[in-house]
Amino acid sequence: MPEASMATPSPAAASPILELRDLTKHFRARRAGKTYTITAVNHISLDLVEGEVLGIVGESGCGKTTVGRMIIGLEQADEGEIRFGGSDILERRGAALKAARLKLRMVFQDPYASLNPRRSVEDSVAETGDIHGIFENAKHRREMVGEALTQVGLNPSFASRYPHELSGGQRQRVGIARAILPTPDVIIADEPVSALDVSIQAQVLNLLADLKARLGLTMMFISHDLGVVAKISDRVAVLYMGNVVEIGDGPALFADPQHPYTQMLIASVPRIDPASRVTGTVERGEPPSRFRAIEGCPFQDRCPKRTDICRTMPELLPTTPGRRVACHHVDAVVAAD
């Protein structure tokens, strides 16, 4: 089980702005008349270093969205801590919790579903500000919304429009404008370009990278698409069935994936880096059913390196500089810290 010290160490000068400690979430689900417990997120520990983009990647159902929703309070964590600004936000109530909610914001996957069709762009973008009473009057509200729209590359006149009058790319820009009014510290972007045409994806990715630099944001960038994650992320965490199986600096991780699952993911996207040292063949196939409890390594059923030891859970341990891998068959080094 990963302990607090198991999280990837931050670069010496940079301090973590957000720290997830042993975060865990179970869901109950019924199937064929039986009730099952699904561990959507299993004791995840991650740091977000101020100013970085941390990519979270993994196949559908691995728990990415649930991690994001727990951070912004849309889902209640069953176990663990979310440390932000010096304390665990899961323990906060009242004004201290409200302050965290203003500073931790989410951009959602589907700009069609996340915007209320009956609300104008102005009302949608102003929503968080309205809840927190930050606007002095209607004029101030209009100005702030106009500024947020300008920041995302939309003319302030878009304020009076409705979602059905917008293209997919424009809707997602509105979704981003909502998340930056008022300016947060951290943005959780959950598959922010997955619902967009490929031709629009690069524009929205560029906008996010640009806003990050301009507003001094820190970002958790969630996607099932390795190519998209590779483009924008400084560091990358690979999730498999609710577990972090590998984490490290983006370019190094894509050039030298160490966990058999990361190797499989990267081998399936050859355009990322044709020179990457991916060795051995990995059995493809689907992730095992979430309805069945697995003893030990969650990847064992699909892994070409599987041996008896894989029936015990591997720890996320340091391997090469900046890298941690949870695999019995990858050599760990003794941590320097």
Ligand X SMILES: Nc1ncnc2c1ncn2[C@@H]1O[C@H](COP(=O)(O)OP(=O)(O)O)[C@@H](O)[C@H]1O
Task: Kindly list the residues in this chain that would bind Mg ion in the complex (CB under 5 A).
Answer: 64-65
- CA 172 to CA 189: how far, in whole Å? 11
Judged by beta carbon, residue 53 or residue 181, the one nearer Mg ion is 53
Q: Pattern of binders to ligand X over 285-304, x per CB under 6 A? A: -----x--------------
Q: What's the residue count for the chain?
A: 337
- CA 179 to CA 108: how far, in whole Å? 9
Contacts (CB under 6 A) with ligand X, residues 13-42: 27, 29, 38, 40
Amino acid (1-letter code) at residue 76: Q
155, 217, 226, 240 from 316: Cα distances, Å: 47, 28, 21, 13
DSSP string for 260-287? HHHHHHHHT-TTS-TT----S-----PP
Beta bridge mates, 35: 30
- CA 15 to CA 203: how far, in whole Å? 30
Judged by CB under 6 A, which of 55, 63, 169, 314 binds ligand X?
Answer: 63
Judged by CB under 6 A, which of 8, 65, 124, 258 binds ligand X?
Answer: 65
Query: In the complex, what is the shortest distance from the CB of residue 62 to Mg ion, in angstroms, rounded to a whole number?
Result: 9
The 3-state DSSP composition of the chain as helix, strand, coil percent (nearest 5) reads: 35, 25, 40
- Residues that bind ligand X (rule: CB under 6 A) add up to a total of 13
Judged by beta carbon, residue 39 or residue 65, the one nearer Mg ion is 65
Please choose, out of 59-67, 97-105, 194-202, 313-321, the segment that lies near ligand X by the rule CB under 6 A.
59-67
Judged by beta carbon, residue 289 or residue 312, the one nearer ligand X is 289
16, 166, 216, 225 from 85: Cα distances, Å: 10, 37, 16, 31
60 is an interface residue for ligand X by CB under 6 A: yes
- 66 makes contact, choosing from Mg ion, ligand X, none, with CB < 5 to 8 Å by partner type, with ligand X
The dihedrals phi and psi of 302, each to the nearest 5 degrees, come to: -110, 0
- CA 192 to CA 275: how far, in whole Å? 28
- 40 makes contact, choosing from ligand X, Mg ion, none, with CB < 5 to 8 Å by partner type, with ligand X
Q: Name which of 227, 328, 323, 209 is nearest 273 in CA terms.
A: 227
61 is an interface residue for ligand X by CB under 6 A: yes
Judged by beta carbon, residue 60 or residue 137, the one nearer ligand X is 60
Query: In the complex, what is the shortest distance from the CB of residue 162 to ligand X, in angstroms, rounded to a whole number?
Result: 29
Judged by beta carbon, residue 64 or residue 171, the one nearer Mg ion is 64
Judged by beta carbon, residue 65 or residue 151, the one nearer Mg ion is 65
Query: In the complex, what is the shortest distance from the CB of residue 130 to ligand X, in angstroms, rounded to a whole number?
Result: 27
Judged by beta carbon, residue 166 or residue 247, the one nearer ligand X is 247
- 62 makes contact, choosing from ligand X, Mg ion, none, with CB < 5 to 8 Å by partner type, with ligand X
- 128 makes contact, choosing from Mg ion, ligand X, none, with CB < 5 to 8 Å by partner type, with none
Beta bridge mates, 46: 20
Report CA torsion sign: 134, 135, 140, 144. positive
Instruction: Summarize as ranges the residues that interact with ligand X (CB under 6 A).
Output: 27, 29, 38, 40, 58, 60-66, 290
